[in-house]
Amino acid sequence: MTRAAEETRQPVRVRRRVVPVRHYGRGALAVLAAAVVALIIYGFAGNPNIEWPVVGDYLFHADILEGLLRTLEMTALGMVFSLIGATIVALMRMSPSRVISGIAAGYIFVFRGIPLILLLVFVGNVGLFVDRITIGIPFTGLHVFSEPSSAVLTPFVASVIGLSLAGSGYMAEIVRAGLLAIGRGQRDAAKALGLNSLRTTRYVVLPQALRVIVPPMGNELISMLKATAIVSVIGGGDLLTIAQAISGANYRTIELLLVAAVWYFVVIAVLTVGQHYLERRIAER
Amino acid sequence: MSTPMVSIEGVDKSFGHKQILFGVDLTVEAGETVCLIGPSGCGKSTLLRCVNNLEEIDGGRILVDGSLVGYREHDGKLYELRENAACAQRTRVGMVFQHFNLFPHMTALQNITFAPLRVLREDKAAAREHAHELLGQVGLADKADAYPSQLSGGQQQRVAIARALAMRPKLMLFDEPTSALDPELVGEVLAVMRGLAGSGMTMIVVTHEMGFAREVAQRVAFMDGGRIVEQGTPEAVLGNPRNERSRAFLSAVLQ
């Protein structure tokens, strides 16, 4: 290489000042948005008609805490039963038998299609058309369990049943999507090793499907928590029911709604953090 | 003469209205390595899957080690086997897939010990020991705790071979074991298979590796359009094919 050629290859090193594009519109919009948020907060915080000390008084009121506990119990039970039901329905939906698969499809159609509030009122009022709930052999009179409907279906039990029916209908489709995400090669490999379909599902397909299923299930858990508020229509004893009962007596409607809202936010914040860590752990492997 | 390890007799197979196999006959003696070659879609992989009862056959019959695959013969009728009996049959046959199909949520060791523990109910310590031995055999003694995602394609396929061998199969089926590998990783997998053939394992290998077929196979069968159109020693089939289709295929592949 000649000397002249080498010289022309030398990069010219001159420092130039970089002037970024100014986003004037973006800045103006940010100021405007911040102003709106500030106004909303001021509207609540500085509103003379909202007595914030009352919110503080009731935040840790024994009845409110009991309602919160009920809400958490319902969420947990509803979620557990929904997951079990969803897994069963999803597996049925994928059955080679058209009857079994059709029944599962019908289940999903019915319980996804009914508004939760209707379902809850319906389950809560089963006593209106079924006098006794009996477990036994039909038409023989033999039974292991028989109680009046009203004694079995307390508002709490009815709430958990309603939440579980609706939840399992929704979650069955999530579980099914997770199961379908596992390729045929995995089933082939398990089969070739001599595993039957039950073991293949249990040890090969489900553990892998879980990775696909967990993130949307976190959202379902949060939805379930919020859905428990709807059981107040059958007096489920949850946080919102209690808050409304108290405000019915002292006329502090807005204050008690705010008490309930604060608790829902707290629980959802905790769940969101938990979901974040769970997803990260799953992604690690 | 002893009974052959595999005898495929007049096997037909269709998917819906599309017939894939037309009266295929093939016999594999114990200890023999047979390579199945032929163009894509000619039915090689389907035939292999039928031998392991991963696909049901529509006509003819397949015997592995003297017993019917997937059926029980009684009073001149064939009764389809119940699932658990069919599963028990598959434990005698090891299978290696094009895309390895390792279980991604298990380590290499867990992949290998999984079926011996769950299906054969082997003792845990014994299964682990056997697995370590097999990992040594495929040259991956130090990868026992690696997950499949941490292994190269060639390493994954070698773990898959070890997984199949863990069931102490009498027959090994290889479905294009090197087709999904980067070229520089093919050799390590073929070396393991060569060793296995040398140790007396009966093997049916669907492959496009003509060098491997020439060197390791006792017999090569060329398939086209769902039929075996030519079979014989590697020298005869690969060196001097008589059938027009195999001649065209081989000249295209070998150049």
> Smallest Cβ distance to B90: which of A186, A191, A208?
A191
Chain B residues bordering chain A (beta-carbon distance below 8 Å): 52, 54, 83-84, 87-88, 90-91, 93-95, 97, 99, 101-105, 114-115, 118-120, 147, 160, 163-164, 167
Cα gap B161→A245, rounded to integer Å:
68
User: Per-residue pLDDT tens for B139-152?
Assistant: 999 999 999 999 99
Band the pLDDT of A18: cuts 50, 70, 90.
Answer: confident
Lookup: tokens for A261: 């809202």
A189 contacts in B (CB within 8 Å)? 95, 97, 101-103, 160
Number of neighbours of residue B121 by Cβ within 10 angstroms: 8
> Smallest Cβ distance to A285: which of B93, B94, B147?
B147
Q: Which amino acid is at A121?
A: V
* Pairing mode, strands B6-15 and B59-64: antiparallel
Residues 6+ apart with CB under 8 A from B45: B98, B175, B176, B206
B164 contacts in A (CB within 8 Å)? 192-193
A196/B94 Cβ within 8 A: no
User: Per-residue pLDDT tens for B79-123?
Assistant: 889 888 899 999 999 999 999 999 999 999 999 999 999 999 999
Counted across chains A and B, CB pairs separated by less than 8 A come out at 61
B77 versus A274: the higher-pLDDT residue is A274
- A133, A149 contact by CB (below 8 A): yes
Lookup: tokens for B62: 């397949």
DSSP secondary structure letters along B197-241: HHTT-EEEEE-S-HHHHHHH-SEEEEEETTEEEEEE-HIIIIIS-
A188 contacts in B (CB within 8 Å)? 54, 97, 101
User: Per-residue pLDDT tens for B69-79?
Assistant: 988 888 878 88
Q: How do the domains of chain A map onto residue ranges?
A: 53-130+145-284
> Within 13 Å and on the Cβ side, how many CA atoms surround B190?
23
- A53-130+145-284: which CATH topology? MetI-like fold (1.10.3720)
User: Per-residue pLDDT tens for A227-243?
Assistant: 999 998 888 889 999 99
Band the pLDDT of B20: cuts 50, 70, 90.
Answer: very high
Tell me what pLDDT residue A153 has.
85
> Smallest Cβ distance to A193: which of B84, B99, B167?
B167
Cα gap A124→B125, rounded to integer Å:
55
Cα gap A234→A247, rounded to integer Å:
17
Rounded to 5 degrees, φ, ψ at B206 are: -85, 120
Cα gap B196→B194, rounded to integer Å:
5
Q: Cα A112 to the chain's mean position, in Å?
A: 14
A191 contacts in B (CB within 8 Å)? 54, 87, 90
Tell me what pLDDT residue B96 has.
97
Give pTM, 2 decimals.
0.78
Return the DSSP state at A234.
G
B97 contacts in A (CB within 8 Å)? 185, 188-189, 192
